Amino acid sequence: MHAKTNTAALTPLALKDAPALIETVFPAQKVSFEAQKERKANLGQTLTGLGSYWKGRKPLILVRAIVLGTLLPATDDAESDLAIFEKLMTFDDEGLARRALAANAFSATKLQELIAISDPERYFSGRGWRRDITTDDKLVLYRKALATMSSYEEKASISKRPEEVDQEWLYSPVWPEVNEHYRHFGVSAQSLPELVEQLGILRYGQRPRVGDTFSGGGSIPFEAARIGCDVYASDLNPVACMLTWGALNIIGASSERQAEIKASQATVAKAVDEEITQLDIEHDEHGNRAKSYLYCVEARCPETGWLVPLSPSWVISKGRNVIARLSPDHNAKRFHIEIVSGVSDEEAAIADQGTVQGGDMVYMLDGKTYRTPIKTLRGDYRNADGSTGNRLRRWEKSDFKPRPDDIFQERLYAIHWISKASINKSRQETWFAAPTDADWERERRAEAIVAENFNRWQNEGLVPDMAIESGYNTDQPIRERGWTHWHHLFNARQLLLISRYFQYRTPEDYVFNAKSLDWNSRIANWMNHWEKTNNVFYNQALNTFYNYGTRCFPSHEAGRSFGFANSPLPNIRSQIKCLDATTLEDEADIWITDPPYADAVNYHEITEFFIAWLRKSPPKPFNDWVWDSRRALTINGSGDDFRRGMVTSYKAMAEHMPDNGMQCVMFTHQDTSVWGDLIGIFWAAGLQVAAAWYIATETNAAIKKGSFVQGTVILMLKKRPAGERTGFKQRLLPAVRQEVIRQMESMLHLNDTVKANHGEPVFNDSDLQMAGYAAALKVLTAYTHIGGEDVTSFALRPRTRGEITVVDEMVQQAAETASNFLVPEGLTADTWAKLTGIERFILRMLDMETTGLSKLDNYQNFAKAFHVEDYAHVMGDMRPNHARLKRVSEYASRDLTDSTEIGPTRLGRLIIALQQLNKDTEPQAIVDQMRNEMTDFLEARPVLVDVLAFIEQKSHDLETRSAAEVLGARLKNLRFGQ
């Protein structure tokens, strides 16, 4: 809660027509670093305690930056505006010093290594601080220590995230400067919520209201509320709405309310614990308690008739070298499974091979190895119409375990035990063991309890009864296991335990029960390095596994409501609705959305995993929502329906905001055609581009391999002025070029000014490139008709393969115009102007590599900007976070032929020359050869000399730098009379 701000001195709507700061300046590099820092916190992120299965949450620090950047006015002094903005984000030196101190970033020894301290006894006693030292005294040294560091990244990397630090103390030095900067508007704030409310009154006449119609995991409404905005959130998906509700009402609850929530959850846990204990299904005869049960699939080998346990690895614990060892039972024609601890590394490596290898069942029997494809076991086949099928029996609604004649059986093979003496201790004594006869009896008891109560539990909504609907993701469990209903993804123990929790139905119970489902299912694989199950949606798919873990009460409860954050929200108004974005009826001053797009996760399908459990009798306010994924209404993909749904949605938002309102659209781009589609969509929705920024939001922790993009485009949009405005391409192209030049010159001037004063530029090349796009789109989207075609018709008409639209042409020209300004340090503008696109790409990226940048998205962006057809040919590594160009020595002769982009260029010829020089060819012989082969040698010589000097300065290896120096000197001093 924050004290009510004094707004009497404010003139409502005084900033009504003032441009927003984010339209002119935005410290994208610093926001990018902070966003990645937040991402890398993993479970330390504020909202992940409610469930990490919704991967699409945008970083909270990014949302904070967007909201503040949209509310703050741009003045005539961009440098001062930027300085104030960075203070409010605590990106400034004082903010960093406080964040570093909060992290205890420097020991006493380290401080004395970094800075000269004339009187260390004043500060230190022994190896630590003196007891009487104050925080202000510590800050004196921290400021000096941070001043020894050269980059923002170095300073921020040792500091806490802004949200982790006490806000009153962190922001205490900020308010005098902020209030002074905006005193002519009457601003007088002592907290972010006060400032936000005052800025809202000045701009909109009220506390600002931020809306999000694709709220997903809730990060946008949560962070907007945390800094003092009223919020509106909606989503078609009820699970998304539930997570948003949890963010605002659990994470954002007052400390007193959160204490009540924790007490309530402890009561639920105690009741479930007592019920499970009374059923006697998780304790052995000595009072030890099971932590996890490990199961595997079994299938009969068609060649031998043996029943073979399937697992890709028989290592149960890597840390303790615990394995499952198979031994043949010739009488039963199956395998005993023995659990062995502390085996040698060699035996563990053998066990790690498993009986599932490369899609085959592989096992050894009597010295002979047998291999059968899994698809053969399933009986896969193709129908005449091209569809596929298999011989797996489709499970029925009454099933919860395989029937005896099913192709895939299931077997308990290990139990993770907790000793009786350590059950309630923080450090538990645990071990793994094979099931005994008594364990098998408990297993049968659990199955009998489920069988006896199954129909009643389904009727009461305690376990699911919902069928799995066919879909891109949902076909997988049907195809690979024959499962047809959502409860088939849970075994008897899981159904029994989870049903006991679902007897309790407060909204908080629903949030935490949904979270626990993600960790306790037949499709939650066993992580032998952590000795626990992984979460189901670690990669946003419904993967079926050959072995899996079942969490018992202790481990299930630990993952259910443990460790959620508390960040009390100020006294704001919030509203959450579960509805289609196209049916919007509510107003917002600022709309911030992270919409679905072509490569989006199919949340409408995979969240049916949760909806199946939650839909029967939800509590208030959830009972007002439609507990169905409503697939037919979802906006996803990249086709005609996608564009129509998006236009309707964004038109609705434009119609439900004031004339001076603003929209921010965040999208992670992979398919360049989607960029063009999205621009057309916003254009047709009556919106005009005001600015665009590029933020590196994703980390290297992605599951899938390959060339995925790691950045987010932040597109700022305003309402297009009323009235018809027709433009023609031949007139628009010069206007676009002029706007790009104006934008670039303005940004480069600010860069030079800030760099001169503070040592670090505001914008990097990606920012400048994105600003070029925005400048072009700002011109383009101001029109209602282009060449006689209405923009709505343009946005909605079907695309033909290979079509180059007017948007594509404008963006490409903007990229080319902007690239003329991106001259790498060390090259002359004259040389830069004479280079081809592929040459510019290589030299630009070589320059960037010297700063340590290695993200693949930079190469993708600049390949597009420089109109490079296939940049992969000049790449030495295309891993997402290890991307780099080929070194000179790595180019093969086939890479430098006339049939490649680089081969016929001057730079291509220089690469050949440098390779020859490194192989001890005489420099004069190389020069003579170049003179004979290059028809424009005389004209090209200054360019070659300049490029060689650049390579000498920027190359990564000493051999190439030396060769460039020798060849450059020979060309520079060449006498043509010789």
Distance of alpha carbon 714 from alpha carbon 769, whole angstroms: 13
Helix (H) or strand (E) holding 578: strand 574-578
**What does the pLDDT read at residue 709?**
41
Provide the CB-side half-sphere exposure for 586 (13 A, CA). Answer: 21
Band (pLDDT 50/70/90 cuts) for residue 5 is low
Contact assessment for residue 589 and residue 209, using Cβ atoms and an 8 Å cutoff: yes
Give the dihedral sign, CA 251/244/517/472: negative
704 band by pLDDT with thresholds 50, 70 and 90? very low
In order of 108, 139, 160, the CA distances from 105 in angstroms are: 10, 12, 9
- How far, in Å, CA of 512 to CA of 508, rounded? 6
How high is the pLDDT of residue 460?
Answer: 96
CB neighbours of residue 387 within 10 Å: 8
Mind listing the pLDDT tens digit for each residue in 262-315? 999 999 999 999 999 999 999 999 999 999 999 999 999 999 999 999 999 999
Pairing label, strands 590-593, 662-667: parallel
State residue 15 phi and psi, 5-degree precision: -105, 15
Report pLDDT for 640: 76
SS3 assignment, position 881: coil
Residues 6+ apart with CB under 8 A from 849: 884, 885, 954, 956
Give the Cα separation of 109 and 107 in Å (integer).
5
Given a cut of 60, whether residue 699 has pLDDT beyond it is: no
- For residue 21, the Cα-to-chain-centroid distance in whole angstroms is 26
Q: Is the whole model's pTM more than 0.85, yes or no?
A: yes
What pLDDT band is residue 316 in, cutting at 50, 70 and 90?
very high
Neighbours of 770 (CB within 10 A): 26
Residue 327 phi, psi (nearest 5): -135, 140
CB atoms under 10 Å from CB of 7, counted, come to 16
* Tens-digit pLDDT profile for residues 737-778: 888 888 888 888 888 888 777 777 887 777 777 777 788 888
Residue with tokens 């006490």: 166
Assess contact for 209 and 231: CB atoms under 8 A.
Answer: yes
Note whether 650 and 663 are within 8 A (CB): yes
Q: Give the pLDDT confidence score for residue 882 in this predicted structure.
A: 86
Mean pLDDT of the chain: 91
Structure-block tokens of residue 330: 């010739």
Query: Above 90 in pLDDT, residue 229?
Result: yes
Q: Determine the Cα–Cα distance for residues 812 and 834; give it in Å rounded to an integer.
A: 19
% the chain with pLDDT above 70: 96
Strands 884-885 and 875-877: antiparallel
Angle at 630 between CA 626 and CA 631, to 5 degrees: 165
- 598 Cβ contact partners less than 8 Å away, ≥ 6 residues apart: 637, 638, 642, 670, 671, 673, 674, 677
Q: What does the pLDDT look like over 551-572, one tens digit per residue? A: 999 999 998 877 789 999 999 9
Rounded CA separation 671/770 (Å): 16
CA distance linking residue 293 with residue 910, whole number of Å: 64
Tokens representing 143?
A: 């400021």
Tokens of 570: 């100020």
What pLDDT digit, counting tens, does each position of 581-612 carry? Answer: 999 999 999 999 998 865 567 888 999 999 99
* 319 within 8 A of 330, measured Cβ to Cβ: no
DSSP codes of every residue in 336-393: EEEEE-S--HHHHHHHTT-SEETTEEEEEETTEEEEEEHHHHHT-EE-TTS-EE-SPP
DSSP classification of residue 582: G
For residue 857, pLDDT over 80 is answered with: no
Give the count of alpha carbons within 13 A of 401, CB side only: 20
Residue 387 reports pLDDT greater than 90: no
Query: Please, how many CA atoms are within 13 Å of residue 390, restricted to the half-sphere of its CB?
Result: 22
